[in-house]
Amino acid sequence: MVVSMKEMLIKAKNNKYAVPQFNINNLEWTRFILEECQKNNSPVILGVSEGACKYMGGFKTIYDMTNDLMEYLNITVPVSLHLDHGSSFDACKEAIDVGFKSVMIDASRFEIDENIRITKDVVDYAKEHGVSVEAEIGHVGGQEDDNNSGILYAEVDECIRLVNETEIDFLAPALGSVHGPYKGEPKLNFERMKELSDKTNLPLVLHGGSGIYDEQLKMGISCGICKINFNTELQMAWNSALRSEINVNQAYDPRKVIKFGEKAMKECISTKIALLGSNNRA
């Protein structure tokens, strides 16, 4: 059964590593990620955006699919199924009501008072159901589902207000990362990251992990990052393997075609786990 992120991220914070969030897009994606994390004995967070949720048939379908796959595959590492970028109280409530043990409320597009108000409503509901809550502040740049935004670095005093006034479990401060490919070099504000980690004492989350240099990811972990989200890099690894195989392999059965990208995707997953140090931390 899927679990909340709380215990896994507190353990990560105490032991200075990070747990990967890999976003899922379909059954095969979920299966490949679960199998590879089990092989590496790594805890894992399966991120589901609202768009991916609609694509896959709704929260309940995903919840049942994940738990049933875990049972079928004998997955014993801790797995958290997490609503990624929940856009409203209603979206978070819907996920919680079907059994999700972790949600992100992303009210970062609002002014701080409104962000706090919406986030607090989600936390109050989530706490009644034993569900952990991540919240965002500032703007992660790039594209997430259908939303495009520029980077806006999170302010320290606003982060502290958000944490103290809502009692969230994890903070996702925008500090220079973007969703999707980077144009130019990623410019992360590590000084502010460390300050936020010291002042809030919460596990920090880094969105837009794809394309951030390995040394920067390690630096982030040393500055208090305990969860790093990856989506684009897995998609690219799967896609380029599929493109080269499909030209030479005449298979037309979708079960075979989708698997053309399995090896490359799993290699990418293992590489990220080793980099984050979450292997053998289950």
For ligand 13P, the closer CB: 14 or 238: 238
CA separation for the pair 267, 110 (Å, rounded) = 38
Q: Which of these segments, 33-41, 63-71, 114-122, 224-232, binds ligand 13P (CB under 6 A)?
A: 224-232
Rg of the Cα atoms in the chain? 18
Q: Which of these segments, 67-75, 129-137, 153-161, 231-239, binds ligand 13P (CB under 6 A)?
A: 231-239
Out of 232, 260, 276, 281, which residue is the one contacting ligand 13P (CB under 6 A)? 232
Q: Which of these segments, 6-14, 86-94, 229-237, 269-277, binds ligand 13P (CB under 6 A)?
A: 229-237
Out of 20, 47, 86, 220, which residue is the one contacting ligand 13P (CB under 6 A)? 47
Based on the residue annotation, tell me whether 84 is a catalytic residue of this protein.
yes
CA separation for the pair 12, 131 (Å, rounded) = 18
CA contacts within 13 A on the Cβ side of 129: 22
Please report the sign of the dihedral spanned by the C-alpha atoms of residue 224, residue 226, residue 231, residue 233: positive
Q: Which of 84, 121, 145, 146 is catalytic?
A: 84
For ligand 13P, the closer CB: 159 or 206: 206
Residue 145's closest CA among 180, 175, 181, 100? 180
Spell out the residues 6+ positions from residue 261 whose beta carbon is closer than 8 angstroms to its own. 237, 238, 239, 241, 242, 245
Q: Give the per-residue contact string, 82-111, with ligand 13P (x = CB under 6 A; - = no).
A: --xx--------------------------
Out of 86, 138, 203, 208, which residue is the one contacting ligand 13P (CB under 6 A)? 208
| CB of 181 vs ligand 13P, minimal distance in Å | 8
| CB of 72 vs ligand 13P, minimal distance in Å | 26
Does 231 contact ligand 13P by CB under 6 A?
yes
Out of 86, 209, 220, 224, which residue is the one contacting ligand 13P (CB under 6 A)? 209
| CB of 253 vs ligand 13P, minimal distance in Å | 29
- Residues lying near ligand 13P in the complex (CB under 6 A): 23, 47, 84-85, 179-180, 207-210, 229-233
Q: Catalytic site residues?
A: 84
